[in-house]
Structure 1
Amino acid sequence: MEGELLDAEDYASVLRAVQLLSGRHRRDMTLNARMDAWAEFVADVEEGFDTMWAWEFEHDMVHRDWLHDAWPILTERVRRLRQPELDALDERFRLATAPVPSSGMSAGATSSPARWWRSRYPRLVTGDPTAELPATWSPAPTYIG
């Protein structure tokens, strides 16, 4: 967001998004914190998602859900300035994940096709190779380390 200053309306839109969405998405976090959390989750998936947390994978996407819900609340300027960063993170997530077969999608994924990230699973995993993984993670991810 360098080079262009935000004004009071821009900051108010971020605050409005935080206030309106806090009840649905765990706790109050700023736009910057949500973007950072999505980036951290994407990095975790890229490096190999730990099988110990396999059943929490969908829950960990709450930050991307928040960004999706917040985007229409934010001013055009905030969206324009942050969209390239979000697009880059989303592309990294797509590359680090595989699509869930349509017959195995969860109710949340099938009810909202705009939330494409909910119908994906990690390509690489770490941890216990004998750990049970969600049935929707098929074909099975590759174990590394």
Structure 2
Amino acid sequence: MSDSMGAEVVVAGADRRAGGSPGAVSVLVRQWRQEVEGVAEGYSWCAPELMNDLGCRTTPAEEWPQLPAAVREAWEPELRGLDERFRAATIPWPGRGDGDGRWWMWRIPRLIHAEPGERCDERGWPAGWDMMPFAKPDAVRVIF
């Protein structure tokens, strides 16, 4: 890698789920932006799917220190803004702090979309979220 590659530098660990080939920083940031937008609008999938989807933030975190300084400087403002937007659209997992590594994996959407007519369990979670080890926090809304 060299600074001459600019913002399109290839990240070795990028997007292994979608074909196994390395991707560019722009691809990683675009994936994270899409996830953040989806969570901000209201997450429509189950808890295990969210954990899978949030994996797109892991590669940038792991690869960031190895990127050329110019690339980090070019992309850091957008990445930081997306992280802030994600934090605003989520709440911390009860009992976990944001200081832990992979903080994005320990947050819950504030807004969860459920199927019309679907019922919540006795702890307030809709189907697909009922494996959560705690009652649904009041800050989380389920929309049917």
Please give the range of the TM-score, normalised by the shorter of the 2 chains.
0.7 to 0.9
1:57 aligns with 2:50: yes
State the Cα distance separating 1:30 from its structure 2 match.
Answer: 1.6
Aligned partner of 2:132: which letter? A
The normalised TM-score by structure 2 is 0.75
1:8 aligns with 2:4: yes
Aligned partner of 1:38: which letter? W
Report the identity percentage: 31
Between the aligned partners of 1:36 and 1:87, the Cα distance in structure 2 is 13
Runs of 4+ in 1 over 6 A off after TM superposition: none
Between the aligned partners of 1:136 and 1:82, the Cα distance in structure 2 is 36
Q: Which residues of structure 2 form unaligned runs of 5+?
A: 120-125
1:117 aligns with 2:110: no
Between the aligned partners of 2:114 and 2:84, the Cα distance in structure 1 is 25
Between the aligned partners of 2:109 and 2:7, the Cα distance in structure 1 is 35
34, 54, 60: which is aligned to 1:40?
Answer: 34
Between the aligned partners of 1:37 and 1:76, the Cα distance in structure 2 is 22
Q: Which residues of structure 1 form unaligned runs of 5+?
A: 1-5
Contact (CA 8 Å) 1:58, 1:118: kept in 2 or not? Answer: yes
Between the aligned partners of 1:43 and 1:136, the Cα distance in structure 2 is 26
Is the helix fraction higher in 1 or 2?
1
State the Cα distance separating 1:54 from its structure 2 match.
Answer: 2.7
